[in-house]
Amino acid sequence: MKQHPFIESTFTKKDTVFEVGLRPQHLNEFVGQELICERLNVMIGAARKRNETLGHCLFFGPPGLGKTTLATLLAKSMGTNLVSTSAPAIEKPGDLAGLLTTLEEGDVLFIDEIHRLNKAIEEYLYSAMEDFSIDILIDSGANARSVKLKLKPFTLACATTRQGMITAPLRSRFALTCRLDFYPIEALKKIILRTASLLNFDIDPQGLHEISSRSRGTPRIANNLLRWVRDFSEMKSDGCGKDTVVKALEMLTIDHLGLDEMDRKILQVIIEHYNGGPVGLKTVGIALGEDENTLEEVYEPYLILLGFLKRTPRGREATTKAYQHMNIIKKGEPDYDC
């Protein structure tokens, strides 16, 4: 059998460090979410002044807004270590005990997607967060016995996109709960400028505005679009002005409000197939060949934020703004262009 030739990677250790460097390295470099940063500065300053462990923190909100970054900055601000994991990776109490017992005093344990943590394992967190101890059951049946493990004081930082799925007992044990909101255009411009400087990429003010206005209020999307524009400008153009940015994003079928092809398909199906709704989400998913959970969690929030879609007891319904954006005349309204 003919074997494929070995392909050597050109991705160096230096490149890896460089990519990680796109994240803010200090809390004062974190752009946007000013109120949250102010709260964290007070909390961190007070803990350092009293030489105490930082209180437990919960960050929630849509993906890509900086929840993981803030948890990382907590550890850096306190001068301690960060141990990261995700809730689905903790399959049994022993996994959690292994993580907790390796923490040094003041370390930050970051658990992503905390709402997916097994409820039986979650109960072990209660005593760990309050008393810095954990009870582990060894063996079973007549030989079963409980062993109390003493833990060093630590900080639990958790992130979730679905706060409502976190149980009340766990939620009440966090000293600080922060909701991250979508970023305004001016904040996104600062983030894009910072990323562009790290990438050694020059972009003019008009191009900067085009990217920030199409980033759906999300820094992660803004940085991804900037990388794409950089690639496009290197291959298709000599500069990075407004025209280059528009052409690059049109290739991704992203319009001036940040709507992509699937967003427009959702609105088109509701408007043209179901007279603007109301229509059930499952029906829309079948019509588009897309999972309804994906529609609800990925696409709907931004459409609702823009006022293009609304949820009703009978289903989803397109608004007048959606008709106008799609250039479709709503039935019963006069066509003033005639």
Does domain 33-179 match CATH 3.20.20.70?
Answer: no
Arithmetic mean of pLDDT, 189-210: 86
Class of domain 261-326: mainly alpha
The reply, when asked if residue 314 is annotated as ligand binding, is no
Residues of the chain with CATH 1.10.8.60: 185-252
Structure confidence at residue 125 (pLDDT):
87
Structure confidence at residue 52 (pLDDT):
87
The reply, when asked if residue 126 is annotated as ligand binding, is no
Active-site residue among 116, 135, 152, 161? 161
Active-site residue among 39, 116, 220, 242? 220
Tell me the pLDDT tens digit for each residue of 306-336.
888 888 888 888 888 888 888 887 765 555 4
Residue 143's pLDDT band, with cuts at 50, 70 and 90, is low
Alpha carbons 275 and 332: distance in angstroms, whole number: 11
Structure confidence at residue 239 (pLDDT):
65
The reply, when asked if residue 220 is annotated as ligand binding, is yes
Tell me the pLDDT tens digit for each residue of 111-138.
999 998 888 888 888 888 888 888 777 6
The yes-or-no verdict on residue 1 having pLDDT over 70 is no
Structure confidence at residue 338 (pLDDT):
39
How long a stretch of residues is the chain? 338
Annotation marks residue 236 as catalytic = no
Residue 188's pLDDT band, with cuts at 50, 70 and 90, is very high
Measured in degrees and rounded to the nearest 5, phi and psi for residue 71 equal -65, -40
Q: Residues near 87 by Cβ (< 8 Å), separated by ≥ 6?
A: 111, 112, 113, 114, 115, 116, 117, 118
Annotation marks residue 218 as catalytic = no
Active-site residue among 53, 107, 112, 230? 112
Predicted model pTM? 0.80
Alpha carbons 232 and 225: distance in angstroms, whole number: 10
Q: Can you say how many angstroms the Cα of residue 241 is from the centroid of all Cα atoms in its chain? A: 29
Residues of the chain with CATH 1.10.10.10: 261-326
Annotation marks residue 48 as catalytic = no
Q: Which fold would CATH assign to domain 185-252? A: Helicase, Ruva Protein; domain 3 (1.10.8)
Residues of the chain with CATH 3.40.50.300: 33-179
Annotation marks residue 260 as catalytic = no
The reply, when asked if residue 69 is annotated as ligand binding, is yes
